[in-house]
Structure 1
Amino acid sequence: MKYYVSVLAGAMSYGILSTIVVLAYGEGYKLGEVVGTQLITGFILSWMLALYTRFNIKRKQNNAGKSPIAPAHVFQKLTWKQRLMLMAAGTPTVITGLVYYQSLRYIPASLAIILLFQFTWISVLIQAVSKRQRPNKVTLFTLVILFGGTLLAAGFLEQGLAEFNGLGIALGLMAAVSYSLFVLFSGKAVPSAHPAFRSAWMVTGGLVLLCILFPPTFLFNGLIWSQLLVFGLLLGFFGAFIPPVLFAIGVPHIGGDMAGILGAVELPVAVLLSAIVLHEHVSVLQWFGVIVVLLGVALPELHKLRVKRTSPSYS
């Protein structure tokens, strides 16, 4: 149960980000500054956790006379090949942040999160292609439900596509693809390593890529000591630190499919905050669409449980 709660809490943390980013844009900060402070904060917090974990392990080893007091992977020393693999697995978080946060300049936060949430069916599609397996009828039915729910939740049926910025919609969908890759890779990259070290190296990889794309000039011109620091701390904690750590703990144990389903909680959290904090209009029909999307995400897992319970071997 703790692994399910871990992934659930990580997804809820992601749901908070769009509101914080819109508030940061309102103060005049730029994309590179917002994402940069987020990742630097996440980098510091992640390595503090990793170093504390290493210290704690060594202390327990000394006290217990090196007795087996924890799973074997806790004591594993990562090779540079494994570290590079984890760093590469962390790069989708940067791509997701950049395109998702940029989309918020063109479309409402409530719409941006709905587009990002398309990672649910994109993840299914990626896994089907990688495994060379045609989706079954339940999966195809689920995709139809998700598509219909998205049209309702995004407000396309009420306002029409002409009312929305095409670039913003494209960026939101690009973020969904990148987020799908992160969810899948986070569970497959060196799963035997301790979650604290996995998360720290993944955040490190993301920070290296970001510094190449957007040199962190805000660290030297004094801008970091403005209100940007507050936004960076919030984004770093809820975006670059909490989700990777919790996903690193939970995804290897529950699988990418279930992680995608639990990630559904990100959608209502983000839409609710957009309505309350940013005062964005979310109609009753859009909320109905959100519910339809959530039901569509849960449908495959509910089908699996039904098949398992009706199976002759289930007793």
Structure 2
Amino acid sequence: MKLWHYALIVSLGGCCYGVLSTFVKLAYAAGFSVSAVTGGQYLFGAVLSWLIVLLVNKKAPTRTQSLKLLLSGIPFGLTGVFYYQALQTLNASLAIVLLFQFVWIGTLLEWLLLKKKPSRNKLMSIALTLTGSVLAANILFQGSVPLSWTGCLWGLLAALTFSTFVFLSSTVERSTPPLLKSALLSTGGLITIFIVFPPTFLFDWDVVTGLLPYGLALGVFGVVLPPLLFSIGMPHVGSGLGTILTASELPIVVILSSFVLAEPISLPQWIGVIVILGGIASSNLRFRKSSQSSFAA
């Protein structure tokens, strides 16, 4: 597999996150609480991950592998917790823009921890992606946007934990089979979620059965696929480029909101989607050229 193929795999992982908001809104409309939806997402996702591992993977993880990856799953779970807290006091548009700060935080982590200084082209891709996120979130055309410093802190913490999760996906236990790595990361996230949101919904059978279709969809797109795709692609593309590629999340959010939920999408939002895709495409194309030149050498 060529290097730019791994970049596309990471982009698909970001697209999976973009699917979540549609199913979350449908679950809320059906009357389920935030704690039940979040807990169901991670529970069903972790169970599905382990079922796949039991069917495919024949090698048991070592204690060291298990511990490292379980701990690496903590920021995976914390991202959802912090983002939910941000939404308590912030407009959803502002919250998503704060979350999208993971694009530059990931590059900063790579620079500080791995000594990989970002190139001018990468910085240009980051600028395009962040500009597009502001437009796609429609934050500039809403008049007065309620601002809470506490909410802003939660939103930035969500960006930091997501960046940390992406970084750990690219660096921790790189030789572990992706399916097994994904299952352990998901389990770490599940434990974190259940500590913050005790799974009281499990004691109500009607809630469990009613939540099943939403939990399965959220589990697949939010817990099974992203860690798996990141485990495959991130070790090859690095966390700096990886965070840019995962910005594919927001265009999918906007597109599904328009076509599935029939929400009105303004022209600036569509422009923002195009700008984000341009930033992702430019970074991907440069990565493809660099990978081709390295093969030629």
TM-score tier (shorter): 0.7 to 0.9
- Tell me the SS of whatever aligns to 1:163: coil
- The one-letter amino acid of 1:253's match is H
Per-residue deviation, 1:87: 0.3
Per-residue deviation, 1:305: 5.6
Q: Which residue of structure 2 lines up, in the alignment, with residue 230 of structure 1?
A: 213
Q: Which residue of structure 2 lines up, in the alignment, with residue 202 of structure 1?
A: 185
Per-residue deviation, 1:159: 2.5
C-alpha separation in 2, matches of 1:96 and 1:8: 19
Q: Does 1:31 align with 2:31?
A: no
CA contact (8 A) 1:22 1:109 kept: no
CA 1:196–1:142: 2 relative to 1, 3 Å: closer
CA deviations on 1:10-69 (whole Å, 9 max, x unpaired) are 222111101111222223322221111111101111111111123xx4xxxxxxxxxxxx
CA 1:20–1:101: 2 relative to 1, 3 Å: farther
**Relative to structure 2, which stretch is displaced further, 208-217 or 34-43?**
208-217
- Tell me the SS of whatever aligns to 1:227: helix
C-alpha separation in 1, matches of 2:24 and 2:83: 10
CA contact (8 A) 2:136 2:273 kept: yes
C-alpha separation in 2, matches of 1:245 and 1:278: 28
- The one-letter amino acid of 2:61's match is L
CA deviations on 1:284-307 (whole Å, 9 max, x unpaired) are 112212222332344445455667
Match 1:15 to one of 14, 18, 27: 18
CA 1:100–1:82: 2 relative to 1, 3 Å: same
The TM-score, its normalising length taken from structure 2, stands at: 0.84
CA 1:250–1:308: 2 relative to 1, 3 Å: closer
Q: Considering only aligned residues, what root-mean-square deviation do their CA atoms show, in Å?
A: 3.0
Per-residue deviation, 1:234: 1.2
- The one-letter amino acid of 1:217's match is T
Q: Percent identity?
A: 42
CA 1:218–1:269: 2 relative to 1, 3 Å: same
Q: Which residue of structure 2 lines up, in the alignment, with residue 66 of structure 1?
A: none
Q: Does 1:212 align with 2:195?
A: yes
Structure of larger gyration radius:
1
Alignment size in residue pairs: 293
C-alpha separation in 2, matches of 1:168 and 1:23: 24
Structure 2 counterparts to residues 131-170 of structure 1, below 5 A: 131-132=114-115, 135-160=118-143, 162-164=144-146, 166=148, 170=153
- Tell me the SS of whatever aligns to 1:280: coil
Per-residue deviation, 1:101: 4.1
C-alpha separation in 2, matches of 1:9 and 1:301: 13
CA contact (8 A) 1:114 1:153 kept: no
Match 1:271 to one of 248, 254, 276: 254
Q: Does 1:280 align with 2:263?
A: yes
**Unaligned runs of at least 5 residues, structure 1:** 58-74
C-alpha separation in 1, matches of 2:87 and 2:12: 23
CA contact (8 A) 1:142 1:297 kept: yes
Per-residue deviation, 1:164: 4.2
Q: Which residue of structure 2 lines up, in the alignment, with residue 184 of structure 1?
A: 167
C-alpha separation in 1, matches of 2:292 and 2:202: 57
- Tell me the SS of whatever aligns to 1:209: helix
Q: Which residue of structure 2 lines up, in the alignment, with residue 123 of structure 1?
A: 106
